[in-house]
Amino acid sequence: MLFTVQLFDSSAQKQEQCNILPTPVVYKRVKGNLYLREKIHLNKENWPKNTLNQLDSMLQKFHKITIQDTTGKPFIRLRKLTNVPKDFYSISISSFIFISYSNERALYYAMQSLVQLIKTENKIKYIPKAFVQDYPKFDWRGLHLDVSRHFFSVEEIKRYLDLMAMYKLNTFHWHLTDDQGWRIEINAYPKLTTVGAFRDSTLIGHYTANPRKYDSQRHGGFYTQQEIKEIVSYAAERYIDVVPEIEMPGHSRAALAAYPRFSCTGKQQKVPGLWGVFEDIYCTKEESFQFLSNILNEVVSLFPGKYIHIGGDEAPKSRWKSCAKCQNVMQKNRLKDAHELQSYFISRIEQFLNKKGKNLIGWDEILEGGLSPNATVMSWRGFKGGIAAAKNGHYVVMTPGTHCYFDHYQGKSNEEPLAIGGYTPLEKVYQFNPIPDELDAAQASYILGGQANLWTEYITSYDQLEYMAYPRAIALSQALWCQNKPNYEKFCQVLYDVHYEKLDSLKVNYSKSSQRASITSKVNEKGISLILDSPDTSDIFCTSLRTKLSGEEIKLNLKAGEELMITRPKKHVTEQEIEFISKNSALGSTIHLTRHHALGAKVNYITKPNPQYHYAPSLLIDGQKGVRPWRGHEWIGFDTCKIIIEIKLPEKKKIKEIVFSFLESNGSWIYLPKQIQVSNQMKRRKKIRSTTNINSELVRLKIKKRLKTINIEINTFSSIPQGLPGAGRVPWTFLDEIVFH
Ligand code: ACM
Ligand code: ZN
């Protein structure tokens, strides 16, 4: 029988607060509540078996409600619809529950929503009477997990899938192989797991630490084919497709540790316990294709989904350039450079997968040297690659580092556990839109959706994984599901008021970083003012200022939004710690402040910083030093060999000393400068001090002069010397705070 339904116009509708996340297209509250008993009756015969089982376990888990079969009038009634948008469902809650659905997947989504609507007050369970109509915006709503850098157990993967399902994420991108571990049993090549799944030692702390230290502990693990099947079927019960990733030609050191003969040099090397990009990759000789085809042959039989991800990212070409076999492949196939060789490599793999009825998907580097004919592109280096692919009629999944890398910090790095770097707070994820303005409607139709990635170099436990994933995965789901998502503040209200309780009941270790008070500083003529921003606008902060030297402590109460003036010191520079404790959310924040004579000075960048690291011009004189490990935007970053900055002090002042604070992070090509020169800018510029003795991040220059306008010239290596990371390039110079004593 064919039913027609009236589709409501979501944009014209004024939405009342709805507790379902992701927010449905339509939620109309009507008067009254529907009260629930401990047992709910339904006609089991009408239900698809899997959705019934899922409903049963969800009602038990969240609400201790059991379902019972009835042949009479059921409490939850169903009807199937046709001619509605993909994965459409509706729920009407009146004196009973009426679910309309287009397919089993949609019925499952309806159940997830229904379970979220049930409230309990004084042990009484009820659902506010309402009408819900819903369907997703994008087909690909993905979450990725790197199990190579750190291994996660079958039980942990299932929990990860449960949470994804709760928020209607439907694609699990399982990053099964990388340099630091091979995690999938392959019968044809047992050493991939006996050798490739384990490493002897792992880096402690950050990649950029100098010197590096290792833990000397064996780490690893892998999934048997039986376990893979179990997880794929567990995901399928939750309407989640699993996309396995088998990395090639790069990120293959674990496989090459097991079978070195498939590299260019054949050299035996261990599974590394260091992160980054390695030079040794698969050789492009025929034997490697045989090896990879045999592996993929087993992979395709384990994963019923359409897509196989083959990586393709970050493959250095140095080995190929000096390998006779690779050069021979290039000649034979008339390939003009190493990029074309990579393109040839990926096309060969694509042909194999297409013959097996699978689609190839890879990171956006697969565009270099020419995209293979049917490939789908996962755009991670921003939106660019995805835009180019969509314009060429290729399908795209957007997963730009700016919005979708959940291994980035989500709060101030000094208040967060160690992470790789970057800054992707909850609100940034919430603003993610996979469709860039550059695409017209026809091109935009190639964007399948989006995904967030969880690389686990710095995620060493499942608890920490949840901390990095939640609540950001919920914001992602809003970005990918909602036709018209509510504004960020409304989302936060539902998240904080309703969903945190649910996550608490499941003992999810989600992060509360987005609720931390944030402090912004504004430069003004007296110095700087600090303004407190709290997610709760009625918040009061108990603020204490402590002066480091005297230990003197001042306490005051401040409302969110109020300004705290920090004036320049009359005489000496003082170091202060200001602690803001929120009365409402118990989450506070601490800042360390150096009160000095240039607070509020005017900074003129004669040399422009790189726009990516030019967060606020006043950053250099706002009293706050850049944090470590650096996330990026608290530092002013230059990529030129000569840097000229002019600083105009608010008043002429006797300056005893100027202290520069640089960042040294050679692994990221950030180096200390070679020379600094300070001049007094009066009618004519007059050099007053210079130094080439720079061997630490803090550089002090004695001055002892009355100054008003100061010209600072900083010189770096003209290029990074051979043998050091980034050799041959102009080094980065990162500077934050120039303190005037
Ligand atoms: C990637 O982050 N290397 C895809
Ligand atoms: Zn080779």
Q: What is the CATH number of the domain that holds 718?
A: 2.60.120.1190
Same domain, 538 and 664: no
Q: How far apart are CA 594 and CA 614, in angstroms?
A: 21
The set of residues, in sequence order, having a beta carbon less than 8 Å from that of 719 and lying 6+ positions away, is: 727, 728, 729, 730, 731
Q: Return the closest-CA partner of residue 612 out of 445, 734, 444, 487.
A: 734
CATH number at residue 270: 3.20.20.80
Same domain, 102 and 191: no
In a domain, 5, yes or no: no
In a domain, 482, yes or no: yes
CATH number at residue 536: 2.60.40.3080
Q: How far apart are CA 181 and CA 273, in angstroms?
A: 9
Q: How far apart are CA 537 and CA 560, in angstroms?
A: 6
Same domain, 171 and 45: no
Average pLDDT over all residues of the chain: 92
| More reliable by pLDDT, 693 or 169 | 169
Ligand nearest to the CA of 452: 1
Q: How far apart are CA 139 and CA 529, in angstroms?
A: 47
Q: How many domains does the chain have?
A: 4
Looking at ligand 1, which atom is closest to the CA of residue 401? 2
pLDDT computed for residue 576 by the predictor: 77
Q: What's the gap in Å between 380 CA and the centre of ligand 1? A: 6
Q: Return the closest-CA partner of residue 343 out of 381, 317, 308, 322.
A: 317
pLDDT computed for residue 14 by the predictor: 47
* Final residue in a domain of this structure, among 495, 514, 533: 514
Q: Return the closest-CA partner of residue 303 out of 311, 295, 313.
A: 295
Ligand nearest to the CA of 319: 2
pLDDT computed for residue 555 by the predictor: 75
Same domain, 487 and 609: no
In a domain, 659, yes or no: yes
Write out the two tokens for 634.
Answer: 């608290």
Same domain, 682 and 536: no
Neighbouring C-beta atoms of residue 683, cutoff 10 Å: 5
Stated pTM of the model = 0.86
Ligand nearest to the CA of 289: 2
In one-letter notation, the amino acid at residue 228 is: I
| Identified catalytic residue from 178, 407, 634, 713 | 178
Per-residue pLDDT of 197-243, as tens digits, reads: 999 999 999 988 878 999 999 999 999 999 999 999 999 999 999 99
Q: Does the structure show a pLDDT above 90 at 413?
A: no
Same domain, 74 and 185: no
| Helix, strand counts (H, E) of the chain | 18, 36
Q: What's the gap in Å between 312 CA and the centre of ligand 1? A: 9
* Final residue in a domain of this structure, among 113, 134, 155: 134
Instruction: Give, using CA atoms, the residue closest to atom 3 of ligand 1.
Output: 313
Strand ranges, E, within 596-697: 602-605, 636-638, 642-663, 675-681, 685-691
Q: What's the gap in Å between 263 CA and the centre of ligand 2? A: 6
In a domain, 9, yes or no: no
Same domain, 183 and 118: no
Query: What region does 291 belong to: left with phi over 0, alpha with psi -120 to 50, or beta?
Result: alpha
Strand 518-524 vs strand 527-533: parallel, antiparallel, or unpaired?
Answer: antiparallel
CATH number at residue 48: 3.30.379.10
* Final residue in a domain of this structure, among 537, 572, 595: 595
Q: What's the gap in Å between 379 CA and the centre of ligand 1? A: 9
In a domain, 15, yes or no: no
Q: Does the structure show a pLDDT above 70 at 623?
A: yes
In a domain, 21, yes or no: no
Task: Identify any residues that bridge with 282 across adjacent strands, giving them in sequence order.
Answer: 263
Q: Which residue among 243, 363, 424 is best mutated to probe the pocket of ligand 1, counting the most ligand atoms within 8 A of its Cβ?
A: 363
Same domain, 89 and 219: no
Instruction: Give, using CA atoms, the residue closest to atom 2 of ligand 1.
Output: 380
Q: Does the structure show a pLDDT above 90 at 539?
A: no
Q: Return the closest-CA partner of residue 734 out of 612, 576, 600, 602.
A: 612
- With bands split at pLDDT 50, 70 and 90, how would you rate the model's confidence at 2? very low
| Active-site annotation holds for 314 | yes
- With bands split at pLDDT 50, 70 and 90, how would you rate the model's confidence at 688? confident
Same domain, 619 and 704: yes
CB 484 within 8 A of CB 144: no
Looking at ligand 1, which atom is closest to the CA of residue 314? 3
Same domain, 345 and 212: yes
| Active-site annotation holds for 251 | yes
Same domain, 214 and 87: no
Q: Does the structure show a pLDDT above 70 at 12?
A: no
Q: Which domain holds residue 560?
A: 517-595
Q: Does the structure show a pLDDT above 90 at 452?
A: yes
Which residues are found with C-beta within 5 Å of the ion, ligand 2?
264, 283, 323, 325-326
In a domain, 2, yes or no: no
Q: What's the gap in Å between 327 CA and the centre of ligand 2? A: 8
In this structure, the residues whose C-beta lies within 6 A of any atom of ligand 1 are 313-314, 363, 380
Same domain, 448 and 556: no
Segment among 587-596, 672-681, 696-705 with least mean pLDDT = 587-596
Q: Where are the alpha helices (DSSP H) in 437-595?
A: 441-444, 462-469, 472-481, 488-494, 500-505
Per-residue pLDDT of 316-350, as tens digits, reads: 999 999 999 999 999 999 999 999 999 999 999 99
In a domain, 4, yes or no: no
Q: Coil, helix or strand for 247? A: strand
